[in-house]
Chains A and B, each alone.
Chain A
Amino acid sequence: MDSLFQAAADAYRNGKRNQRQPSAAATGRTFDHLLSIAVAARLSRDEQLLGRAASGARSRALKAARNGQLDIARQALSESAQILQSGVLSAEARLFLKSFHEAVAAYLDFKRGDPDLARARVERALAADCVLISQYGYDILELHRIQLGHNLMRVEARFGEPQQATAIGAALLSYTEGDNSSWPFPRFGDGARPDHLPDELAEAMVIQISGELAILLAGKPAEETVHLLSVALPHIEGIATDRCNDHLLAHQWLRAKWGFARQAWPAFFENLSDLLRDGLADAPLLWRASVADLYVACEALDTDGAEALRREIAEDVRAWPRVPEPVRAVFARSREATAVSI
């Protein structure tokens, strides 16, 4: 146990110094590149340029919405909507732009606190993706479809349906790993070929979905965590799909979290080390949520080494930018709540 704890502590210290840049897959550059190839092969130059203008407007909308500037976001989105009305666009191009437009509009509704509208918009985007994949051959949009499913998971998580959210999350993990039958939204399953996703994109998506689960579970009581996470038990046991073992970080996190919730500290520390050592480049949500769990574990252990690590984490956390609220809350209600002001 002591050596496992020490290994986790060392991994944390290595990981926080790890300056590795995020991979192209994790930042979305790989997806953007593959998408641009698909678009160049199918849409006219005019349509591509309009699409690029719409993409710029959506980017501004997303950035503003993330910053809480909803008027600026609405304005940018209205510019994207205006492009959707352009008479130059073919039905295919319009559908393509609509999928991405609705996804961003849904995020705006999500930020405004309207889950029904957000769900409806995501579903419109999903419907568009189905047609684009099955009728126009945009295989790469499989990743967008999973992303939209992940967005629905966030809607459920944010608006008080954690069980539904974790169920979606577990199903999306299986689907992303190639299990067609696990797709949680059967109405929007046309043309499903998750096994065609490039490995690095599937890996990035699995980490993203796990990260969302990590945020959802951050700070939840042990009993509730066990209850919610049990839906992902086949993944924890590594038997959900043939590719469970391909996505090591995410599955190690699942096992670590399972150990954490059951206060099975050896399992927790053992499974945490690789993730912590890797740093937050490709898995920022998983990493921060795991550090929060490590912090709580240190409180529970109450040894000199654990206390030293706990203090070190408390100090480090002060410099963290953009901490997700559930993770922030873990530190805020801890023993040094007044000292850990983030």
Chain B
Amino acid sequence: MKLSRYHVASPPVLDHETGEMQRVIFATRSAEPRVVSAALWQLIESGELDSVPMDVLNELVDIELLVPDDEDEAAVILQRNDAAARDDDNLYLVIQPTAWCQLGCGYCGQEHFQRRLNPDHQRRFLERARAKLAAKPYKTLELTWFGGEPLVGISVIRAMTPSLKALAEEFGVIYHGRVVTNGMLLSDALATELVRDLGVGYIEVTLDGIAPYHDARRHTKKGGATFDQIYANVVSLARRDDLHVSLTVRCNVDRRNYEGVSPLLRKLAADGVQKRIGFYVAPIHSWGNDAHLESLTTEEFAEWEIRWFVEMIELGFNPSLIPKRRPIVCFAVQPNSELVDATGELFNCTEVSYVPKYGIPNQYAIGSLKDGETPGKRAVLASFNERVRRGEYACHTCRMLPVCGGRCPKLWLEGITPCPPPKFNIETRLLLRYAQLRLAASAPGASAGSRVAAAANGA
């Protein structure tokens, strides 16, 4: 057996209770972290497995930190990813009910216009969904309403949801609705309707910092402020006990607003919703435009992200520190998933519709509701794993591939390296998680954040 190349080892850290130097080891093949003594790790790393107790070795085999000597690990991971995409029992579909958005965000690559998915297109899309459900025994139908701003097209959501839910019932699958929204129209009444009547169980809203930061970039098309209204909607929804919905706030960040993250975290905590929402910070990337030129470098972002994590822990948020296994990079590689935009064009990516740079017809379109899929077009992005297999992208040799999946097939294709922050801060994330767990187990009243920060700095 050999040590899997798909692992991360934290720097050694002193356990004050045992007086022992320890490391957190993360087997990315299984996304399983384990704490081992630094001495034991030295034996494992140097291949002296005969000196390691058998029960420890068994555990390391179980989490695939130890793998057969002659295994081509990259090939196995990619084969697993391929199989997972083919066999996914969740039919993932995305609808852009409208091509319009009230906002004029500077980094958005979309060109908005007044168009809604018309009844004929709605009917054709439902027919396609029916054919997909009939072709394979799915367990869930996951429908994301995306924009433009999807709530501007609420009439389409209202018109289509009963048919989508009926389809799910007909085929015995569970229906999950999701909305990715700017939050402007997310009033109490509409949130209630979305959750109770329109099958929405997950809502994601974007806030780019507190008002001065947010309003400077996520303003209306006429330049009007939007923060107060969106924030009020978010807090109001987060406080509701009568609606079963997951609410997540995403904060898009570049050089112009990264300093707005901490104040936003503190504001959310001051309003008491930190335990009722998900929160994550996302780096601005190219949306077919030059938005990424204002981005922090990934290394810079990774460093800031650790600070935000520490702050989140201190404030009582529950950040996701340890990445999960990601066999399906995105719906581009799922053979039956698709997005339809408001004009009836079909895509297998959320980042390409309405983007002028991609031309007319859109170079990434895989077909249309009227004509069906164009042979070969889906493969432009769907062949991502094959490209990784051929060594065209750095993912081929990256230890994070199992938990990253490759991040973004489209950006790789466009020559932009989309490696996510965990690639650059995973060691500190591991220590942070370790400290978090140790502190949770220790005496009450300990200042979690300060000790966590100390542990992280100790790295």
Q: How far is the CB of B100 from chain A (nearest CB, A)?
A: 40
Knowing A45-B57, A48-B54, A79-B76, the reply to whether A53 touches B68 (Cβ < 8 A) is: yes
How many chain A residues touch B (CB < 8 A): the figure is 25
CB-defined contacts of A46 to chain B, threshold 8 Å = 1
CB-defined contacts of B54 to chain A, threshold 8 Å = 40, 45, 48
Tell me, yes or no, whether B69 is within 8 Å of chain A by CB. yes
Q: Mark A49-86, 1 if CB is under 8 A from B, else 0.
A: 11011001000000010011111101100110011001
CB-defined contacts of B84 to chain A, threshold 8 Å = 72
Tell me, yes or no, whether A88 is within 8 Å of chain B by CB. yes
Interface locus among B58-66, B110-118, B230-238, B275-283: B58-66
CB-defined contacts of A64 to chain B, threshold 8 Å = 87
Contact A86 B87, beta carbon cutoff 8 Å: no
Tell me, yes or no, whether B79 is within 8 Å of chain A by CB. yes
Tell me, yes or no, whether B240 is within 8 Å of chain A by CB. no
Contact A49 B80, beta carbon cutoff 8 Å: no
Knowing A56-B61, A72-B83, the reply to whether A50 touches B1 (Cβ < 8 A) is: yes
**Which residues of chain B in 89-115 are interfacial with respect to chain A, using CB atoms and an 8 Å cutoff?**
89
Tell me, yes or no, whether B256 is within 8 Å of chain A by CB. no
Contact A75 B58, beta carbon cutoff 8 Å: no
Q: How far is the CB of A291 from chain B (nearest CB, A)?
A: 22
Contact B68 A86, beta carbon cutoff 8 Å: yes
Contact A71 B89, beta carbon cutoff 8 Å: no
Q: Mark A31-50, 1 if CB is under 8 A from B, else 0.
A: 00000000010000110111
Contact B89 A67, beta carbon cutoff 8 Å: yes
Closest chain B residue to A85, Cβ basis: B70
Knowing A75-B79, A75-B80, A88-B69, the reply to whether A70 touches B57 (Cβ < 8 A) is: no
Q: How far is the CB of A97 from chain B (nearest CB, A)?
A: 12
Contact A71 B58, beta carbon cutoff 8 Å: no
C-alpha spacing A87/B82, complex, angstroms: 28
C-alpha spacing A296/B79, complex, angstroms: 48
Closest chain B residue to A75, Cβ basis: B83
C-alpha spacing A205/B1, complex, angstroms: 35
Contact A52 B58, beta carbon cutoff 8 Å: yes
C-alpha spacing A45/B61, complex, angstroms: 12
Q: Which residue in A49, A70, A82 is a CB contact (below 8 Å) of B58?
A: A49
**Which residues of chain B in 157-200 are interfacial with respect to chain A, using CB atoms and an 8 Å cutoff?**
none
Contact A69 B87, beta carbon cutoff 8 Å: yes
C-alpha spacing A53/B76, complex, angstroms: 14
Q: How far is the CB of A96 from chain B (nearest CB, A)?
A: 16
Tell me, yes or no, whether B137 is within 8 Å of chain A by CB. yes
Q: How far is the CB of B85 from chain A (nearest CB, A)?
A: 9
Q: Which residue in A45, A69, A72, A83 is a CB contact (below 8 Å) of B68?
A: A83
Q: How far is the CB of B389 from chain A (nearest CB, A)?
A: 14
CB-defined contacts of B71 to chain A, threshold 8 Å = 79, 82
CB-defined contacts of A79 to chain B, threshold 8 Å = 71, 76
C-alpha spacing A88/B66, complex, angstroms: 15
C-alpha spacing A82/B79, complex, angstroms: 14
Contact A71 B64, beta carbon cutoff 8 Å: no
C-alpha spacing A52/B62, complex, angstroms: 7
Tell me, yes or no, whether B307 is within 8 Å of chain A by CB. no
CB-defined contacts of B62 to chain A, threshold 8 Å = 52, 56
Tell me, yes or no, whether B154 is within 8 Å of chain A by CB. no
**Which residues of chain B in 1-51 are interfacial with respect to chain A, using CB atoms and an 8 Å cutoff?**
1, 49-50
CB-defined contacts of B128 to chain A, threshold 8 Å = none
Q: Mark A135-174, 1 if CB is under 8 A from B, else 0.
A: 0000000000000000000000000000000000000000
Q: Which residue in B1, B49, B82, B87 is a CB contact (below 8 Å) of A70?
A: B87
Contact B83 A49, beta carbon cutoff 8 Å: no
Closest chain B residue to A68, Cβ basis: B137
Knowing A52-B58, A56-B64, A79-B76, the reply to whether A71 touches B87 (Cβ < 8 A) is: yes
C-alpha spacing A83/B69, complex, angstroms: 10
C-alpha spacing A40/B64, complex, angstroms: 20
Tell me, yes or no, whether B324 is within 8 Å of chain A by CB. no
C-alpha spacing A337/B429, complex, angstroms: 53
Contact A49 B1, beta carbon cutoff 8 Å: yes
CB-defined contacts of A82 to chain B, threshold 8 Å = 68, 70-71
CB-defined contacts of A40 to chain B, threshold 8 Å = 54
Closest chain A residue to B58, Cβ basis: A52
C-alpha spacing A87/B49, complex, angstroms: 19
CB-defined contacts of B61 to chain A, threshold 8 Å = 49, 52-53, 56
C-alpha spacing A188/B69, complex, angstroms: 34
C-alpha spacing A53/B27, complex, angstroms: 15
CB-defined contacts of A86 to chain B, threshold 8 Å = 68-70
* Residue among A40, A50, A74, A78 having the largest count of chain B Cβ atoms under 10 Å: A50
CB-defined contacts of A71 to chain B, threshold 8 Å = 82-83, 86-87
C-alpha spacing A33/B89, complex, angstroms: 34
Tell me, yes or no, whether B67 is within 8 Å of chain A by CB. yes
C-alpha spacing A94/B82, complex, angstroms: 29
Q: How far is the CB of B67 from chain A (nearest CB, A)?
A: 7
Q: Which residue in B57, B70, B76, B137 is a CB contact (below 8 Å) of A49?
A: B57
C-alpha spacing A83/B70, complex, angstroms: 9
CB-defined contacts of B1 to chain A, threshold 8 Å = 46, 49-50, 53
Q: How far is the CB of A42 from chain B (nearest CB, A)?
A: 14
C-alpha spacing A70/B83, complex, angstroms: 9
* Residue among B50, B61, B66, B82 having the largest count of chain A Cβ atoms under 10 Å: B61
Contact B87 A72, beta carbon cutoff 8 Å: yes
CB-defined contacts of B58 to chain A, threshold 8 Å = 49, 52
**Which residues of chain A in 176-228 are interfacial with respect to chain B, using CB atoms and an 8 Å cutoff?**
none
CB-defined contacts of B79 to chain A, threshold 8 Å = 75, 78
* Residue among B80, B87, B137 having the largest count of chain A Cβ atoms under 10 Å: B87
Closest chain B residue to A56, Cβ basis: B62
CB-defined contacts of B68 to chain A, threshold 8 Å = 50, 53, 82-83, 86
Contact B86 A49, beta carbon cutoff 8 Å: no
A-B contacts, 12 listed (Cβ < 8 Å) = A45-B49, A46-B1, A52-B61, A52-B62, A69-B83, A71-B83, A72-B87, A75-B79, A78-B79, A79-B71, A82-B71, A86-B70
Enumerate chain A interface residues (CB-CB to B < 8 A). Answer: 40, 45-46, 48-50, 52-53, 56, 64, 67-72, 74-75, 78-79, 82-83, 86-88
11 new A-B contacts at CB < 8 Å, known A50-B68, A86-B68 = A45-B54, A49-B57, A50-B1, A52-B58, A53-B1, A53-B68, A71-B82, A71-B86, A74-B83, A82-B68, A83-B68
5 nearest A-B pairs in the assembled complex, by CB-CB distance: A69-B87, A75-B83, A71-B83, A71-B87, A52-B61
